[in-house]
Amino acid sequence: MYKTYQLKERGIYRTVHKRLNEYTDNLEDKGGLKKFSNDSIQLLFIRFKNKEINRQEFLNIFDENRKKAENEFSNYVDNQFKNEGYRVAVKIEYLSIVFNPTKTNLISQPIVLYETRNKVIKPEILSTGNWETSSETSSESTDKNDKKIARNESFHVKSATGYEILNIKSIVFKELTLLILCCVALLASVLMLYIFTIKNLIKQQKQIEVLHTVVDNISHEFKTPLATLKIASKTLKKNLNPETLPLIDRQISRLEDLLLQLHKGDIISETARTRPEDWGFFVQDLAFTYPENQFKLQNDISGELSFDKNLMETIIKNLCENSVKYGASAVNIRVFLQKQFLEINVSDNGEGIPKNEIKNVFEKFYRIQSNNIHNTKGLGLGLYFVKKIVEKYKGKIEINSRIKKGTTFKIHMPYEN
């Protein structure tokens, strides 16, 4: 577009240049200085050179003639380009008037001979000219032969004609309207294609992330029921415990639910509501899996909740297992309803979390490091899934921790009966 604009602009200027050049070559026969012949101009230069008139008078003569010629000159130029709608400004001036015998320039700055009503701001040079005017004059002089002395009055004049199309930008843009619209349409199409491609890439990226998250979640969630079943199997080999068979049934049910999530592709899909007794089963399974740790549950829930049982089990077990991994021997769990919120508090007496680590513990695959060495096994997914489940229910989670004293997780999730 820029190159096309330049070509159009040059073409218009060439057209204007051609028409003006034909006119300005003989302008002195048509303009305000028509009363001046070459001889009269020569005489004017001689008078000024001989100081018969001062500089101001010399300039005033040209100024008066310029004003007289302005209307005729402007009308001619306007009529020449009326059909095209060009607003053309023209200025013709003498750049220098040099007296040849002494090489003295009679003027210190250019003299404007002709100028249109529209003033030239940034002229495009139309043409420059050099011409000479000369004559011989004689004067009385007393010498031994008492003869007249002839003088050569010769002047070298340099002139320039400048012009400018004042509305050149609007003219060119008007002529390029169709091209501009086509370019805008093309750019808009490319932009829309770019946006569509980016959105499609983002969508594909999200699908890939969901797939990875599902695999991560399922692989993580399989660990607990498998470990529990493994311990229950060993217990059955030794002696039959009445609590072992229900535990196995619960873990098998949980594995089935996890497989259902895997088929649905949703890491936090809902399958069943949470009953009051389910909270106790969550803790019993933990106590069975970690017999050396103490788990204490305070359950103030008396009715069935609309929260998914498997998701609540994931929250309780992931928080408790995290406490066990980081040195807790006792874990206290409390669940209760307060106003329109389900509150879940899990506190332990473990190592605690450094303040600079608290903001990172919910990040995927993040694990607290000690001297840049991981002291506990795991993938760093447990707390990440807890946060995802809490966010699903539009809740929030808070952490209070003191080094060597323990950590408390407080979960608030909106609930209406």
Question: 243 and 385, same structural domain?
Answer: yes
- Domain CATH for 280: 3.30.565.10
Question: 345 and 246, same structural domain?
Answer: yes
Question: Is residue 218, in this structure, part of any structural domain at all?
Answer: yes
Question: Is residue 144, in this structure, part of any structural domain at all?
Answer: no
Question: Is residue 344, in this structure, part of any structural domain at all?
Answer: yes
Question: 238 and 105, same structural domain?
Answer: no
* Alpha helices per DSSP H over 307-381: 309-325, 355-358
Question: 230 and 162, same structural domain?
Answer: no
pLDDT in tens, 149-177: 456 678 888 988 888 888 888 888 888 88
Domain residues for 244? 192-414
**In terms of C-beta density within 10 A (0-12 exposed, 13-18 middle, 19 or more buried), how is residue 163 classed?**
buried
Q: pLDDT higher for 376 or 259?
A: 259
* Alpha helices per DSSP H over 265-343: 278-289, 309-325
Q: pLDDT higher for 199 or 231?
A: 199
Question: 211 and 128, same structural domain?
Answer: no
Q: How many domains does the chain have?
A: 2
Question: 103 and 26, same structural domain?
Answer: yes
Question: 228 and 164, same structural domain?
Answer: no
Question: 216 and 78, same structural domain?
Answer: no
The dihedrals phi and psi of 352, each to the nearest 5 degrees, come to 85, 165
Contact in structure between 341 and 410 (CB atoms under 8 Å): no
What mean pLDDT is reported for the chain?
80
Contact in structure between 58 and 48 (CB atoms under 8 Å): yes
pLDDT at 195: 94
Question: Is residue 181, in this structure, part of any structural domain at all?
Answer: no
Question: Is residue 168, in this structure, part of any structural domain at all?
Answer: yes
Question: Is residue 183, in this structure, part of any structural domain at all?
Answer: no
Any idea which of 110-124, 157-171, 298-312, 368-382 has the lowest mean pLDDT? 368-382
Distance CA 17, CA 88 (A): 11
- Describe the strand order of the beta sheet including 294-299 as a list of residue ranges: 294-299, 330-338, 341-348, 406-414, 396-402
Question: Is residue 143, in this structure, part of any structural domain at all?
Answer: no
Question: 164 and 112, same structural domain?
Answer: yes
Considering the entire predicted model, what is its pTM?
A: 0.44
Question: 336 and 303, same structural domain?
Answer: yes
Tell me which range, 135-149, 255-269, 319-333, is most confidently predicted by mean pLDDT.
319-333
pLDDT in tens, 264-317: 555 555 567 889 998 998 888 888 888 889 999 999 988 888 898 888 988 998
List Cβ neighbours of 332 (8 Å cut-off, separation of 6 or more): 296, 298, 345, 346, 347, 348
Question: 266 and 241, same structural domain?
Answer: yes
Question: Is residue 185, in this structure, part of any structural domain at all?
Answer: no
Question: 198 and 129, same structural domain?
Answer: no
pLDDT in tens, 11-29: 888 888 888 877 776 655 4
